[in-house]
Structure 1
Amino acid sequence: MASFASDNTAPVHPLVLAALAAVNHGTAPAYGHDPVTKRLRETMAEVFKAPDVSVFPVFNGSACNGLALARMIRPYESILCHRQAHINNDECGLPEFFTGGKIVAIDGIGAKLTVTALGDTVERALQHAPHTSRPRAISLTQSTELGTVYSLEELAALTAFARAHRLYVHMDGARIANAVASLGCAPHEVMAGVDILSFGGTKNGAMLAEAAVIFNPALAEDFAYVHKRGGQLPSKARFVSAQLQALVEDGLWLELARHANAMAALLADGLKGNDGVTVLYPVEANELFVTLSRPVAQTLFDRGHQFYPWPAEGPDAYRLVTSFATTEAEVKNFLADIQARPS
């Protein structure tokens, strides 16, 4: 039996648990004034080659997105994102609640925004001012909700557009490790032109640990108030920071992401050529979107495999997600059950 339901179903990585145990002694200053959180900021500065970076640990990705966007826009302004973005479909209105502003959803192939689509949207909004919310921020999901990855060239074009139109750039990095691993580049290259990154740890081996990583010093100012007012300032911040530090200090985050990506690629290769199976999008990170004939899907469910239907991509569409904990044996077992299904 294999679980491809979500990378959220994976356990906490042993090195992350060990890091928690290591800081679980004695006392430490509260609310982020501890040495572990200080060291995390220093490590993030090294990893992203950003000496002025600010880091604010939080408990979950939705709140991290909401806080970042709340610092960027005013209630009469808008956030431009892809129609399939998490902030648009999966956060129960949290970004609007935190910001008071409006999300404007835009279409694009492979869950990616394009400069052309953004330009059309911004132009229409400004022509209708002040009756339409003023665009103020772009939110990019990296890797995307369909498992695709923005190339460095695509990111450069989008961030250049943002600068030309005085828009902030937020990056929803719930799976940022998978994107960096897929691109095979240095982490700082993916962040060029990004103002705030929602750095994801929970899907990549942590337990309730994310961080708002702020590259724009102007947005770091007063963020402590947004952090606190949003209910995301941990009193015992060392226990959140220790998890993220364990992931980033020696490159563990990218090692785990590379494994998850490799399992997704192995799964995709094995699915191709099977009757009743179609891979819908390029598999560039750790998510696959496929169509399965009903007999194939039912056989897999009957044999205990776990994955979700994904009706947004069609009546017979499903999502499969690998994680750092996915094993090659699980992938091969899943593929064997497809090939051994009754005719």
Structure 2
Amino acid sequence: MTPQRRHDPELRAFASDNYAGVHPEVLAAIAVANGGHQVSYGEDVYTEHLQEVFRGHFGPSAEVFPVFNGTGANVVALQAMMDRRDALVCAESAHVNVDEGGAPEVMAGLKLLTVPAWDGKLTPELIDRQAYGFDNEHRARPAVVSIAQSTEVGTCYTPEEIRAICDHAHGLGMKVYLDGARLANAAATLGVPMRAFTTDAGVDAFSLGGTKNGLLFGEAVVVLNPEAVQGMRYLRKTSMQLASKMRFVSVQFEALLGTDLWLRSASHANAMTQRLFTAVRDLPGIRIDRPVQANQIFAVLPPAATEALQKRFRFYTWDVQSGEVRWMTSFDTTEADVDAFAAAIAEELAAAL
């Protein structure tokens, strides 16, 4: 049977940047890498060249390991940074804690020590709430501080904030891992290169998101401090994250990072979020408490407005009890998409009040 288009290509949702399709420049890059034979499992010329691309962004010590998805990136990297007797300190809202089906615990055997952080951001003082008992055999040893940039609630760390975390963690003998699923969005917001809050801030290893910024599939684990990470090559395979036809992952990242596509796409997504924020922030019946810094808005609406609006546009309820919802934009969100959604929000709020 000939494949048929089974969706409306004009349909837009505000639930997740994962809903978006593939950026045309990325699709073109995949086609370039197609044809002929290349050595499998990462010994191809595209993956070899990708090391140079990443080092251009993150410095000469950076080593990149392409993987399939974000959960895989986090689990593989954390396994390589920790022993099974260890624990990581993270915010309660961290993706590794609430959105990965327990994978760090189930697949890696790691303990998560969480800290409440309303804005999703850790500080040295918050880390200290769980960073103790290093020699206590009855307690999992805190070994890694895990942060996200941008955070799960759409906030961004400054380079100085991450440097303070790294200095503090390293002073305690701990390592620092950064979940960078939306790293490009944070860089676009802050107006700094991605290395400003990774390499230059003292992070030991991080993930770099591709899927949320226009890739078909693929994320990357980037090791900056080889002394802090052991056995990545082997753990990637053991964890079922080693792609046989890796050239098609690597060439996507080359399209993203070998040009300014990463910044163009992230900047556009952020701009669409700001357009939506400007349009709805003063509407009667809406409350937006969290800072809007990247490509996410968290808003509290009357339940009736949310229910009616979700029949017209797909988005997620973040907190059922408070009525807080999450709206997200992506690289392919248009001004017309935002304006239509904003008009729908205004209509349903007016009807609910």
The answer to whether the superposition gives a TM-score over 0.5 is yes
- Supply the distance in 2 between the matched residues of 1:297 and 1:230 (Cα, whole angstroms): 39
1:130 lines up with 2:137 in the alignment: yes
1:19 lines up with 2:20 in the alignment: no
- Map 1:1-343; keep pairs closer than 5 Å: 2-48=12-58, 50-123=59-132, 125-126=133-134, 129-191=136-198, 192-219=201-228, 221-302=230-311, 304-311=312-319, 314-341=321-348, 343=351
Q: Which SS does the other structure have where 1:277 is aligned?
A: coil
Deviation at 1:25, TM superposition (A): 1.0
The answer (yes or no) to whether the contact 1:247–1:253 under 8 Å persists in 2 is yes
TM-score of the pair, normalised by structure 1: 0.95
The answer (yes or no) to whether the contact 2:150–2:156 under 8 Å persists in 1 is yes
Task: Compare 63-72 and 269-278 and name the one that shifted more.
Answer: 269-278
Deviation at 1:154, TM superposition (A): 0.9
- Supply the distance in 1 between the matched residues of 2:289 and 2:229 (Cα, whole angstroms): 40
Q: Which SS does the other structure have where 2:297 is aligned?
A: strand
Give the direction of change, closer, same or farther, for the CA distance of 1:216–1:164 in structure 2 (3 Å limit): same
Structure 2 residue runs of 5 or longer lacking an equivalent are 1-10
Task: Compare 95-104 and 241-250 and name the one that shifted more.
Answer: 95-104
CA RMSD in angstroms, aligned pairs only: 1.4
Percent identical across equivalent pairs?
41
- Supply the distance in 1 between the matched residues of 2:230 and 2:120 (Cα, whole angstroms): 32
- Supply the distance in 1 between the matched residues of 2:130 and 2:116 (Cα, whole angstroms): 11
- Supply the distance in 2 between the matched residues of 1:221 and 1:26 (Cα, whole angstroms): 34
Amino acid at match of 2:15: A
- Supply the distance in 1 between the matched residues of 2:137 and 2:204 (Cα, whole angstroms): 26
- Supply the distance in 1 between the matched residues of 2:245 and 2:155 (Cα, whole angstroms): 36
Deviation at 1:336, TM superposition (A): 1.4
**Higher fraction of helix:** 1
TM-score of the pair, normalised by structure 2: 0.92
Deviation at 1:220, TM superposition (A): 5.2
Amino acid at match of 2:172: H
The answer (yes or no) to whether the contact 2:91–2:117 under 8 Å persists in 1 is yes
Give the direction of change, closer, same or farther, for the CA distance of 1:163–1:277 in structure 2 (3 Å limit): same
Amino acid at match of 1:78: A
The answer (yes or no) to whether the contact 2:175–2:228 under 8 Å persists in 1 is no
Structure 1 residue runs of 5 or longer lacking an equivalent are none
- Supply the distance in 1 between the matched residues of 2:316 and 2:128 (Cα, whole angstroms): 35
Deviation at 1:216, TM superposition (A): 0.9
- Supply the distance in 1 between the matched residues of 2:228 and 2:143 (Cα, whole angstroms): 13
Deviation at 1:2, TM superposition (A): 4.1
Write out per-residue CA displacement over residues 126-181 of structure 1, whole angstroms, 9 at most, x where no aligned residue. 37x11111100011011000000011121111011111011111111111111111
